[in-house]
Structure 1
Amino acid sequence: MTGTRGEQSGEGQKVRRLSDAVRRVRVAEAERTDAFADLHEAERARLEMLAEELAGVFGELPADDDYFICQVNGGHPPRLWIDPTSHVTIGRDRRTYRFLKDTRLGRVVLTEHADIGVVADAVTDYVAERVVERDRAKDTDQFLARLKLAFLPQQPGRTATAGRATAVAAAASSGAPDRGATRRGTALWALIAFLFGIAAGALGLVAYAWFRIGPV
């Protein structure tokens, strides 16, 4: 009985080996890694297709313009960078393009579509808007510089205060009257005349009361 039971136990019991379990885990991890790599490469391939669609747009930019990028990085997830604050990535469905921009208030979605043409048009409009904004800012700076030269003429190394002091000194030496001093003198005499009129009126009222009513 004892021998028969041992034989049955030996035949029915499953022998577990650690090496077999390690092999199964490694095979499963390799399969997951392959699947992840396939997804990563698929996303990267879709972004590179979009970059090819935009190659003509970025090719029209000046050669020394280093603000716009149009390059796919190798990180996870892969991104097609348009400029330092905007990029395109692939959505969770592995088909939708998401055009994103980082702002001071957070990340916003500019465009989200599965059609590569729609996203390419959105990126093209975005680049055009940035170019116009930069040109407008450059024109504004040049206009302000011209206004400064027109209304604040200065020689190198001299400040506006020094120029004003020199002009006043030149006017004094040439005998020309200073308009500012003339205006200040006129205002002072007008104030004196006004105060004198008030004082004369008050004295007149006191004199009238004195002679009309008499001393109290």
Structure 2
Amino acid sequence: MSEAPDSSSESGPVRLREALRQARIEAADRTGVVVDLRDAEVARLEILNDALDPLFAEIPNHIDLFDRGISQGETPRLWIDVVAHVVMGRDKRQYRFVQDTRNGRIVLAESHDLGGIVKAVTDYVARRMVERERAFAVARVQAPVLGETPRRRGGFWPFVLGFVFGVLSLFGVAFYASLQQI
């Protein structure tokens, strides 16, 4: 009878050990799948990045609006500029082109097709360049108006005249005060 409890006490830890081992194997498999999915996302974003090379080659060097690159965080992203990026959708096959705004994130384009996203990014880049040109045009028009200062005549003689008038006023007040005391 004493052997029965010993066999059950040994079978308990063996089953738990086996269960822990199996749980660790499953967790490693899931981690491997997650890493594989992330690698697949990065690979798709790199393909898109390569497809965008001709577009960014056409942008003049003096325009520094765009800073393209892939960030590899928890969610890999292909950044187009400071506020717009491409991220993979939930199915990891759909490209999602989004822009961060004051009112939140907006989706500019979604597509499984690489060409559709390249077109959307091209349109976005063109709009940003037009906005930049308009901002510079407005700045050039307003710069002379804002920078103009009215011409002043020499400031020395008005100062001297004001100083003399102030001194004479003080003497006049002092003289009037002395007459009042007498």
* TM-score where L is the length of structure 1: 0.62
Deviation at 1:65, TM superposition (A): 4.0
User: Which secondary structure does the structure 2 equivalent of 1:89 belong to?
Assistant: strand
What's the CA shift for 1:142? 1.3
Given the alignment, which residue of 83, 86, 89 partners 2:87? 89
The alpha-carbon distance between structure 1 residues 13 and 146, as it changes in their structure 2 partners (threshold 3 A), is closer
- Residue segments in structure 2 that go unaligned for 5+ positions in a row: 158-182
In the alignment, does 2:35 pair up with 1:37? yes
Look up the match of 1:211.
none
State the Cα deviation string for residues 59-109 of structure 1 (Å, max 9, x = none). Answer: 222335443122111112111101111111111122111110111111111
The question of 1:138 aligning with 2:136 is answered yes
Q: Secondary structure at the match of 1:109?
A: strand
Q: 1:67 aligns with which of 59, 65, 68?
A: 65
Whichever of the two has the greater Rg, that structure is: 1
- For 1:47 and 1:138, the matched residues in 2 are separated by 33
Three-state SS of the structure 1 residue aligned to 2:60 is coil
- How do 1:73-152 residues align onto structure 2 when only pairs under 5 Å count? 73-146=71-144, 152=148
Deviations 1:27-51 (A, max 9, x none): 1111000000011111111111111
State the distance in 1 between where 2:94 and 2:39 align: 15
1:129 and 1:88 map into 2 onto residues whose CA distance is: 17
Q: Secondary structure at the match of 1:83?
A: coil
Instruction: Give identity over the alignment, percent.
Output: 41
What is the alpha-carbon distance in structure 2 between the residues aligned to residue 79 and residue 62 of structure 1? 24
Structure 1, unaligned runs of 5 or more: 155-159, 170-216
Q: CA RMSD in A?
A: 2.8
Q: 3-state SS of the aligned residue for 1:98?
A: strand
Larger relative contact order (CA 8 Å, sep ≥ 6)? 2
1:15 aligns with 2:11: yes
Deviations 1:11-32 (A, max 9, x none): x998132432332121111100
CA distance in 2, matches of 1:20, 1:65: 62
CA distance in 2, matches of 1:148, 1:40: 52
Letter in 2 for 1:15: S
